Structure 1
């Protein structure tokens, strides 16, 4: 009860401040004998405009929401309402501000006048002489006997009525605070859409981080191992491998820094994000070959161009995932990359010899788990495609299909 009463008294103080200005102007205009045709419009404007203009200030919404949350105990959910950003929020804040002023003025009148009247009525029968009037009321007379107790009891009833009125005012304010200062249903839906978009984007960036940096680390490990083996017998080849390690590591570091920056700052433009597509396929294959894994390709340049950007990006990631797995589980072997358009879909296949069926590598790959493959399957599903991986005739085959938009469904047979 105490904190809500403080909230009402704040409104009472604000109302008293505005009222003092109004009364001062009223005194000046009436003393100057201004005509009523001018007096009343001016007084109406002076009474209404200052509170309204102040409430239209964006920060008032946040200040009132903080006061409501702290003093009235209103829970606004995840976070307090911030400054008003739309005119709908501003006009709702204006309505609430006026409600705060009116409720505060009423509460102040109840507290001050009710207290004075109750004390006066309670005390006067005991300090006045018999036959005197109580509180200047003609029918309220001091009897000088037990009947005088009705005045203190009446004052107590008045106090209880005033307390009930205050509780009613507080209950009304509490019921209207959230609709007036909080978010509307449309605003909540819009905020949820924005949060969902951010979460989806962060998930996508996390997958980009896994695909690109995971592949780069695999290349670095294999190139470093090759350089160590060749260091004594073929220094030139070892130096070439180390140079490749440096190049891949620098590229991965730059991409890692960019992705982490995007995760920290969601306002950065998406156009700057490091997204590879099939135009970078030759660089990818060249880097893989540098690790000692031979890569054969079965593709046509015409099948790689004119694709929708999202299809080209996901196709690149699928090839990258397949070659990364080949480097990890079948080093020194030959991997084959096939990309073709057929019947309105882009078919991507990466195949390499499997390790022995009793090896740990075989057991790991039979599980077909891992965040890379699962992430690839999910991205394909989102685009309406499919992805699968498994052993087939002594080869580990990663195969994916992505649907092509009508504008890029040129077929090859």
Structure 2
């Protein structure tokens, strides 16, 4: 195996607010989210163009004030909306939920989150809004309700509630889990929210590109709640669009860093990511890390951390940051495990001990392959899904208060 930082496929993009705005607009269109903020001190309301589209509202009419929201909500949904608004303003707590509105072109079903911003005295000075049109998911939601009833009748409520939570998460932020097949590669992913049923800051991406390379990425938006969710979706959606430029991993990381640096004007937000491309012909993984935990390479029944390679800083820390490219030559049967730090950050437990437990767990998968009596059984034993499940079980992932994402790739 060789793991040397090299420079190639560099694309020079002019740094301008215009190009950044275009990428922001692209990210908004890809994920379908709209942003808004109501400054209660100046009474100024700012909406992004996408938020006007979500609410099916003419920009010439200006933003919709929250105190006028009941005028467009359908009567059946109005009591719940009014209760959320009371919670938002009286208890000064974030609220989220779904409701239907009357738009210019008919009824819309929206998923909306509101978060109050407080000054030092605890007074609300602004309200931030994040909204998504989920009308297309209504049939999926109805199917979930039917599934819930079937599970209740079969007395398997606990197990199925977790499945429903995963499917509800996909309705809000479409994410695939399980085993994914690509040319020369199999990918297994497991995401576990720190709070059941909520979307956190961890994210991942695995997608085949037009040039037959496979984009692989995993990341963590620091924090919790609305800001972490918004940051995660912006990073994931931005990467999904920018990957089609054909740019190498360091350039993609540079663009992501620009987005994070300018994500919240006047505030510092940060995140980590490991991203790269797998070439099915050469079996090379060309990747870079932006302050992300090092991956694990499993080869010849031995697992080791790739922690001796160059990497860049966390996203959002430096506006002018460099992200070195590492090319790792992989072999058939190799497993590479990527993960977010929630799997190793556990209150009252030593991080080094957890790291050793993770290495032992994924190494046991390779040892199972070695003991397999036939090539066919060896293929089943090397299923990357097994590597993911072994790690989650060995490190008691269900007990973590933080979000966890684990992604294993196996070379074929």
Greater relative contact order (Cα < 8 A, sep 6+): 2
TM-score > 0.5 by shorter chain: no
The TM-score normalised by the length of structure 1 is 0.20
The TM-score normalised by the length of structure 2 is 0.20
Higher helix proportion (structure 1 or 2):
1
Higher CA-based Rg: 1
